């Protein structure tokens, strides 16, 4: 009897390599079906280890009967989740597709997506749009977060051997406010970003320092052009500096403009 019990106990008590590591659950599910075409949604949950992932996976499958894909991503990896529209060949409809890339760094994830877009452009009716990014513990770098009163910003140093890069994530947590974001780098390059409610914009900037200014407008109003004067007057201004694996920031006081 002992010879039978011991192997069973061993199976229950032992773990496969990597199962003790924390990570991320990614679940993609069919949100709506339109004939042969479908629209997809996604959810993410951080998990303590693989056993926790199995529990949450079961819960996810019960919640979403039409589950398309579930994956466990170890904390040493990075993840980029994106959405794009794909036309279904032979049918007069398109699917709203959600997919993701994993890699050793966020830069590698972005390269994989760029390579796929270049290799199979016909698969993409629209350009892919970043929905979510996660770096886990892929690299020993700290994430700096800043709440702009609706936009929650996360900044991460993503330097390469030859470039200083700031990876920024702007999440609009408002219900009815469109965020207008102006980014000016130390190379005097200006970026104008618009982030709608509930949307997360993830983008990398080749910069050692960059200034971020934010304005809000009711989403039901007509889109307005970017106004440099408005951004200079904005009280929601911050300067971010890319140090050694660390992002530092400094609030910028709004200055008056002479008419």
pLDDT in tens, 17-44: 445 678 899 999 998 887 788 899 999 9
Q: What is the mean pLDDT of the chain?
A: 81
d(CA 65, CA 167): 35
**Domain co-membership, 177 together with 234:** yes
**Domain co-membership, 148 together with 236:** yes
Whether residue 191 is contained in a domain is answered as yes
Take residue 167 and report the two structure tokens written for it: 């990876």
CA-to-CA dists, residue 219 to 34, 95, 196, 214, 257, angstroms: 28, 26, 8, 15, 27
Q: What is the pTM of this model?
A: 0.52
d(CA 217, CA 231): 13
Indicate the number of domains in the chain: 2
CATH of the domain at 161: 2.60.40
**Domain co-membership, 172 together with 112:** no
**Domain co-membership, 46 together with 76:** yes
Whether residue 258 is contained in a domain is answered as no
Range of the domain at 67: 21-134
pLDDT in tens, 182-210: 999 998 999 999 999 999 988 889 889 99
d(CA 109, CA 80): 6
Tell me the sheet residues that pair with 67.
Answer: 29
């Amino acid at each position: 009897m002992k010879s039978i019990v011991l192997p069973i106990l061993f199976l229950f008590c032992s773990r496969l390599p990597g199962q003790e590591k924390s990570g991320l659950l990614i679940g993609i599910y069919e949100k709506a079906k339109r004939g042969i075409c479908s629209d997809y949604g996604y959810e993410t949950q951080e998990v303590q280890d693989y056993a926790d992932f199995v529990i949450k996976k079961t819960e996810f499958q019960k919640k979403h009967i039409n589950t398309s894909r579930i994956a466990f991503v170890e904390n040493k990896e990075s993840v980029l989740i994106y959405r794009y529209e794909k036309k279904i060949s032979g049918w007069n409809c398109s699917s709203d597709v959600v997919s993701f890339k994993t890699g050793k760094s966020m830069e590698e994830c972005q390269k994989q997506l760029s390579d796929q877009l270049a290799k199979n452009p016909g698969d993409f009716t629209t350009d892919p749009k970043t929905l979510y990014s996660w770096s886990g513990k892929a690299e020993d770098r700290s994430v700096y977060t800043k709440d702009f009163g609706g936009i929650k910003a996360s900044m991460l140093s993503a330097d390469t051997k030859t470039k200083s890069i700031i990876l920024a994530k702007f999440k609009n947590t408002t219900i009815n406010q469109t965020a207008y974001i102006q980014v000016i780098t130390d190379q005097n390059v200006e970026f104008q970003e618009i982030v709608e409610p509930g949307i997360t914009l993830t983008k990398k900037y080749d910069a050692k320092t960059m200034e971020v200014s934010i304005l809000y407008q009711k989403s039901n109003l007509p889109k307005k052009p970017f106004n440099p004067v408005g951004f200079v007057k904005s009280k929601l201004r911050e300067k971010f500096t890319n140090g050694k694996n660390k992002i530092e920031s400094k609030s910028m006081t709004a200055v008056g403009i002479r008419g």
